Amino acid sequence: MEIFDKLLNEKKDPAQSQRTLTQWKDDETHLFQYGLFAFMVKNSKFVEDFNEQDWEQIAEIVPTKDAKKCNKRWLFIQKLGGNKTKWSKKEDEILVSLITSNGARDWSNIAEKLNDAILDYIQNSQTAKAEKDKLTFTARNGKQCRERWLTALDPSINKKQWSLKEDVDFLEKWQKVGNKWREIANLIDGRTESQVKNRFKLILRREHIQQNNYDPEELKTKVIPQIIASLKMRIQRGDDNATKDGS
């Protein structure tokens, strides 16, 4: 295993400081998560049930870390909410397939099936080995699968440019509920919570407005109404239906 051999050589290198061996690198984290999940599958055992001997075996997978450091790394990853790396194209494909077959529910089960499928793909697929950027296994949890679907993969998401009328409708809804992005997203067809939140920031930035310079009431009663009035004038003039800001 290339990563294992690389880390083993680093451990033997006297030039490596104790601080360097204490800190976790990306290669170490990927190898750790890959080995951890493989160990769970092989032994049909959850991490919560691991004993000292189990962590000793996990540590053998990452030559630069001991059992205690591996245990602490797992706790740290869970505290962060799981794997934070960018989703790969293969992960997206498998997630879409799972949701198409099973529905957008029971996210913990979907995450488990996704992790199984990715691990199997890495271990057995010649395509994965031939890819320029090799996949490394980093487990996803149910929350991450749900957020990925709702914010990026759901085919009902509207990814087109915002129209002037959409902006007006959105800002009028914001006047009523404020920064309750999820509530606003539920009132606008096809737009996600992340989209409406980012849209609000973009509109203010486009108008050269610093939100922190205004109290919420002034923003609601003076600034936003002026923006709405300007947008409505553009609509009346017959401006292009789609805004020209690339969003």
- Same domain? For 13 and 63 the reply is yes
Handedness of CA 99, 138, 47, 4 (dihedral sign): positive
- Same domain? For 176 and 224 the reply is yes
> Tens digits of per-residue pLDDT, 64-85?
888 888 888 887 776 655 566 7
Check if the beta carbon of residue 219 is closer than 8 Å to that of residue 207: no
Integer Cα distance of 62 and 28 in angstroms: 7
Integer Cα distance of 247 and 161 in angstroms: 5
Q: What is the pLDDT of residue 247?
A: 47
Indicate the DSSP class of residue 134.
-
- Same domain? For 121 and 191 the reply is no
- Same domain? For 102 and 60 the reply is no
- Same domain? For 53 and 70 the reply is yes
> Tens digits of per-residue pLDDT, 22-43?
578 877 888 888 888 888 888 8
> Tens digits of per-residue pLDDT, 120-151?
887 776 665 545 445 555 678 888 899 999 99
- Among 133, 153, 173, the domain-final residue is 153
Report which residue type is found at 108: S
CA distances from 26 to 70, 75, 96, 115, 145 (A): 14, 16, 27, 19, 22
**Number of independent structural domains in the chain:** 3
126: CATH: 1.10.10
CA distances from 151 to 31, 41, 98, 186, 235 (A): 28, 30, 17, 13, 29
Q: Residue 162 pLDDT > 90, yes or no?
A: yes
Least confident piece of the model among 15-24, 120-129, 177-186: 15-24
pLDDT band for 44, please (50, 70, 90 cuts): confident
- Same domain? For 55 and 34 the reply is yes
Residue 241 maps to a domain: no
Residue 242 maps to a domain: no
| Domain containing residue 189 | 164-236
Q: What are the φ/ψ torsions at residue 90 (nearest 5 degrees)?
A: -65, -40
- Taking alpha carbons only, the member of 97, 95, 85, 102 closest to residue 26 is 85
Q: What is the pLDDT of residue 37?
A: 82
Integer Cα distance of 177 and 162 in angstroms: 20
Check if the beta carbon of residue 141 is closer than 8 Å to that of residue 129: no
Residue 243 maps to a domain: no
Least confident piece of the model among 4-8, 22-26, 52-56: 4-8
Integer Cα distance of 179 and 208 in angstroms: 19
pLDDT: is 77 or 113 the higher one?
113
Residue 187 maps to a domain: yes
pLDDT band for 246, please (50, 70, 90 cuts): very low
- Same domain? For 62 and 110 the reply is no
